[in-house]
Amino acid sequence: MKITYPYMSNSHIAIKNLFEGLGNEVVPPPKPSKLTLSYGTKYAPEFACFPFKILLGTYIEALEMGADTIVSTGGVGPCRAGLYTTLQEKILRSLGYEFEMITLEPPGRYLGDLIKKIKRLINRRISLIELAGLIRFVWEQLKLLDEAEMTSFKIRPREIKKGETTRAYRKAVELIARARSIEDLKEIRNEIKKIYGAVDRKEDFDPIKIALVGEIYVVMEPTANLEIEETLGELGVYAERSMFFTHYTLANAVTDLFHLTGEKNVKKAAVPYFNEMCGGHGRESVGNAILYAKKGFDGLIHLAPFTCIPEIVAKSVLPAVEEKYGIGILSITIDEQTGKAGLQTRLEAFVDLLARKREKRRKGNIA
């Protein structure tokens, strides 16, 4: 079996280790590029959302590279994403590709099916202890990847030489990718501290704080959102996002197994506006927006793929949040455009707006 899977931020590094550890060959998905996009937009239905197109393109590239099995996640609820693997499978088959599509559905509802599929993915003799060790290593690796990224968000707005944090972050990811054991990861964690420590930065500078909320793929994958976090960081902004891979997995897949509601606080925060889920991350976008506003963030950027219904619902609620909590909100709709200039202008204007607002509040307090 030659497995491939969706590309999302740097998670592919650890996922590769997981599948290899289970005795499979892996064709790591290529980073989304112009080529990915051209495949995706050519073969996907026009009004499918951007994540659908990127994933379809990624699969085509990976199949061309020799993959014969695609592993992806499914989903439930009104968001179309739950149907995506089925549709993608049909499209890819009509293009003449032969492969197996393995869709991992949420454990709470389809446990039997999930176990069957996981068994399909284990292709060597592996003891339970060894399996537990493998999972632990992969998990720690994912955690360190998230950690390294979070640290870069904190340092970037303070960097003195533009681009230095990004270089440090890339080096960190490279190191993490090389790890083969938990011990390695411990050493690497210290190494990363040193790398980041060497980035010259402004002390006693209080950056504008912006949180990113929205649909998971466009929030988490930098090539999809035109590297928005990096861009904000270089404008001197501390950008925090509402989800990271490990946190998301814990809050959704794992809790689902025990029939628990994940991200309870987020859902509860959204209650004045949302009593029900609307699919995707619509409710979470609103809930997170409120939580960030309460935490004292200056602004909020809402990222939504074009035609994404859950985010459209969220977008219509956000002005009410904006008014009630006095937090600035910028909604950005993302599709296949790769021209960054327009986004840059909006971000610069938004940051200006927040900076002036903050200054005014400060002056007001003094007076």
Partner 1 sequence: MNYFLGIDVGSVSTNLVVIDEDSRLLSKVYLRTRGQPIKAIQEGMKQLLKNVGDRIEISGVGTTGSGRHLAGIMVGADTVKNEITAHAVAALHFDPEVRTVIEIGGQDSKIIILRDGVVTDFAMNTVCAAGTGSFLDQQANRLNIPIEEFGRYALQSKKPVRIAGRCAVFAESDMIHKQQVGYNLEDIIRGLCQALVRNYINNLAKGKDISPKIIFQGGVAANIGMKAAFEEAFNQEVIVPQHHDVMGAIGAALLAKDEMKKKNSTDFRGFDVSEIDFKVSSFECGGCPNRCEVVNFHMEEKIIARWGDRCGKWKNI
Q: Which stretch binds partner 1 (CB under 8 A): 100-108, 179-187, 211-219, 354-362?
A: 354-362
Q: Is 360 in the site for partner 1 (CB under 8 A)?
A: yes
Q: Are 329 and 300 in contact (CB under 8 A)?
A: yes
Whole-number minimum distance, CB 181 to partner 1, in Å? 30
Q: Are 225 and 218 in contact (CB under 8 A)?
A: yes
d(CA 147, CA 139): 12
Number of residues in contact with partner 1 under rule CB under 8 A:
31
Q: Is 236 in the site for partner 1 (CB under 8 A)?
A: no
d(CA 135, CA 13): 14
SS3 98: coil
Could you tell me which of 33, 40, 31 has the C-alpha nearest to residue 8?
31
Q: Is 2 in the site for partner 1 (CB under 8 A)?
A: no
Whole-number minimum distance, CB 346 to partner 1, in Å? 6
Query: Using CB atoms within 10 A of its CB, is residue 128 exposed (0-12), middle (13-18) or buried (19+)?
Result: exposed
Q: Which stretch binds partner 1 (CB under 8 A): 114-122, 210-218, 262-270, 334-342?
A: 334-342
Question: Among residue numbers 144 through 163, which ones bind partner 1 (CB under 8 A)?
Answer: 162-163
SS3 328: strand
d(CA 3, CA 123): 12
**Using the rule CB under 8 A, which residue among 247, 306, 309, 325 binds partner 1?**
306
Q: Is 123 in the site for partner 1 (CB under 8 A)?
A: no
SS3 175: helix
**Using the rule CB under 8 A, which residue among 122, 166, 191, 312 binds partner 1?**
166
**Using the rule CB under 8 A, which residue among 42, 109, 116, 356 binds partner 1?**
356
What is the binding site for partner 1 (CB under 8 A)?
A: 30-31, 33-36, 162-163, 166, 223, 227, 306, 316, 319, 322, 328, 332-333, 340-342, 345-346, 348-350, 352-353, 356-357, 360
